Structure 1
Amino acid sequence: MMSINGKNTTTTSQPPPPHSTGDGGGGHRLRLNPNSEHEPDNYEDLEVEFSPLLFSALERYLPPSLLSVPKETKLNYMNHILLRYSSKTDRLRLHKHKEYRQKIISNYKPLHCDLYTMNGSSFFIPSFLKAISENTEGSFRSIMKEDSPGIFTFEMLQPKICAKLVEEVENFEKWVHETRFRIMRPNTMNKYGAVLDDFGLESMLEKLMDDFIRPISKVFFSEVGGATLDSHHGFVVEYGTDKDIDLGFHVDDSEVTLNICLGKQFTGGELFFRGVRCEKHVNTETQPEESKDYPHVPGHAILHRGRHRHGARATTGGHRLNLLVWCRSSVFRELRKYQKDFSSWCAECDREKKERQHKAITTTKLELLRREEATS
């Protein structure tokens, strides 16, 4: 999470897929453009240091001669590259975080075990499941509202699942208090809440991203890596008069963010949006048409680009909990390093591009008029 004024930031180190820049890495390179027709292998059955999904995403960027070799050979090739982009310090930090998670999982006793393995029919309302099974833009739009470009709202979770998730978080917080275990909070801007991945819900959230968020993101957020989402950060935030009150204007450390209201009873807390921006334009002014507020409704979701500037107004009464899943694409993050034009998704880049085009057309017209006057 990054605040717009740059004072509050959270960065998560993860090795990005490399670009074929000829960096002298013993010939281990990737292609500039993926082979979209190639069906990558699944690496979840192998013991790997990085995310298995990352290897599957990277495989389409392998040289053509490697696409048909054994999976282990491809894995070694990609792993060799990734290690060049992951420092020893980063790997040590990841190892310590794994130990931290394992310590929690070994000692914390879940309250609702059925939350830890996703069952779609019990988690989601029927209309949402139907739209996902049909997997078309039309089926997605049939359950969604897009009152503002790039911000989608829809009913998603069953009420009983919302209640169980709230109870599970409260049970975890009770265990933390009783054991005096020092936990990591979701980000630097929230003092209350819990990282769900840290106490056993990682595989459930990974399935949520793979099977339910990515199909939608592939259709509506393809320009920011929606089709190649391969990692996530899942957490619950809490707001109330004795918790965090509001959330400042910021952008998320994600390509796509899913925000689901879990409850309980509360007033206020509306989510406000102020336009999509790249890093260069994150502090630019908001245009009138970019300003939009959304009320939170238990069980309902809001899906948006991580770079869509937003915040939360004060929760003036009661207790509000929201589940957030920051979905990331390693491939998009690497390719973004080599791009200068983000007009396909940054509103300010698009405005500047149109302004340049308008100036070029105006200059051309004036030059033609000048020539005509000179020859007449």
Structure 2
Amino acid sequence: MSLDGAVERREGSPAGNGNGNGPVMAPPTRPTYGDRRLRLNPNTEHKPERYDDVQSEFDPAIFSSLERHLPPSMLEVPRDAKVQFMKEILARYLPEGERNRPLHKELYDLHPSAFFVPSFLKAVNDNTEESFRKILSEPSPGIYTFAMLQPSFCELLLDEVENFEKWVNAVKFKIMRPNTMNKYGAVLDDFGLETMLNKLMEEFISPIARVFFPEVGGSTLDSHHGFVVEYGKDKDVELGFHVDDSEVTLNVCLGKDFSGGELFFRGVRCDKHVNTETQPEEILDYSHVPGQAVLHRGRHRHGARPTTSGHRINMLLWCRSSVFREMKKYQKDFSSWCGECQREKKERQRQSLAATKMAFLKGCGGSNI
């Protein structure tokens, strides 16, 4: 949901002269900030404060999320002033009776033992390549699958998404859809899960990405886009061939009962080669299993086949690296990760070797070689 409307504040009246014997100092008042607009896009470089101890009908995570949208003049004021400012915004934006209250508050703080299966948690705690490889399968180069989420967590998150969507429909709000291709689903950050998802990326996905995706910024992930997508009757049915706006993508099936909906992968490509042909060794079809995750490069071309029955919901976390994106602007060769760049490089090497051999043969007269 967007919180970019103007916030009106009244300025205090100027002090008068009182009894005529000179200026009378006005009593101290809380700061006022005049008319301000929230940032349409969050300030991703700002680290918000924690609000766990704030007494409010709103979940503390909502304040942390909203803080990144505050105008620059508000970022350095005392926390109490921020809280009051944000409470007024929320009161204006969501009148009484129209507020979406979290259904499962335990979702908004990441509790590892409740969220993750023990094998995944142990691998991350050990934090070694060997520990990761014990739980990972690699059905095709650069695509890793593993058991990740507890069934109970999947059920809670599905309930929370459904609760959010019911509220959206009831109050007739328009929400931002996950991306340009999916019409059904929701951005998880929009209802207070930003802090939880950021912790998921930093503490549980980044350690794996550092080992398996260092060439695409896996060791410098610093932002995310988290969302759920829905497939089935009266929802999206399939997803076309595409690449993600991420360096590393986590895709976890939450459920429910469904058939079809397989992911198909067709090789990693840079911008220049995104539409080049697929090689036989790059073809992989993957069937979703609730609670099981798929981790791959965002530039790994893929799509989803039609969900033929039932209802499928997946949680996705697009993990991004601002350092990698900046450095990529100055590169022309991506043979460390682009399949087509690798083939072109090998072909150049083959041609160079052939030319060297030909020159050698000519130099020797070709008589005894």
Structure 1 counterpart of 2:45, from 46, 51, 66: 51
- For structure 2, the 5+ residue unaligned runs are 1-41, 48-71, 73-88
8 Å Cα contact 2:220/2:324 also seen in 1? yes
User: Following superposition of structure 1 onto structure 2, how do residues 76-115 of structure 1 map, counting pairs within 5 Å?
Assistant: 103=93, 107-115=99-107
2:324 aligned counterpart, secondary structure = helix
Structure 1 counterpart of 2:234, from 242, 263, 279: 242
How big is the shift at 1:230? 0.2
Structure 2 counterpart of 1:342, from 334, 338, 357: 334
- What's 1:194 paired with? 186
Partner letter of residue 330 of structure 1?
S
TM-score, normalised on structure 1?
Answer: 0.73
- CA distance in 2 between counterparts of 1:302 and 1:49 reads 29
How big is the shift at 1:188? 1.3
8 Å Cα contact 1:195/1:236 also seen in 2? yes
1:355 aligned counterpart, secondary structure = helix
How big is the shift at 1:50? 3.9
- CA distance in 2 between counterparts of 1:301 and 1:329 reads 21
TM-score, normalised on structure 2?
Answer: 0.74
- What's 1:154 paired with? 146
How big is the shift at 1:147? 1.1
- CA distance in 1 between counterparts of 2:213 and 2:99 reads 39
2:289 aligned with 1:297, yes or no? yes
2:279 aligned with 1:284, yes or no? no
The percentage of counterpart residues that share the same residue type is 68
- What's 1:76 paired with? none
How big is the shift at 1:316? 0.2
Structure 2 counterpart of 1:221, from 213, 223, 239: 213
- What's 1:363 paired with? 355
- For structure 1, the 5+ residue unaligned runs are 1-47, 54-82, 84-98
Partner letter of residue 366 of structure 1?
M
Partner letter of residue 355 of structure 1?
E
Instruction: Pick closer, same or farther for the CA change 1:191–1:130 going to 2, 3 Å.
Output: same
- What's 2:126 paired with? 134
Flag the structure with larger Rg: 2
How big is the shift at 1:365? 0.4
- CA distance in 2 between counterparts of 1:372 and 1:112 reads 80
- CA distance in 2 between counterparts of 1:107 and 1:281 reads 47
- CA distance in 2 between counterparts of 1:179 and 1:313 reads 33
2:199 aligned with 1:207, yes or no? yes
Q: Aligned-pair RMSD on alpha carbons?
A: 2.0
2:358 aligned with 1:353, yes or no? no
8 Å Cα contact 1:104/1:199 also seen in 2? no
1:173 aligned counterpart, secondary structure = helix
- CA distance in 2 between counterparts of 1:325 and 1:113 reads 20
- CA distance in 1 between counterparts of 2:367 and 2:123 reads 64
Which structure's relative contact order is higher, taking Cα pairs within 8 Å and 6+ residues apart? 1
Instruction: Pick closer, same or farther for the CA change 1:104–1:295 going to 2, 3 Å.
Output: farther
Instruction: Pick closer, same or farther for the CA change 1:363–1:268 going to 2, 3 Å.
Output: same
Which structure has greater helix proportion?
1
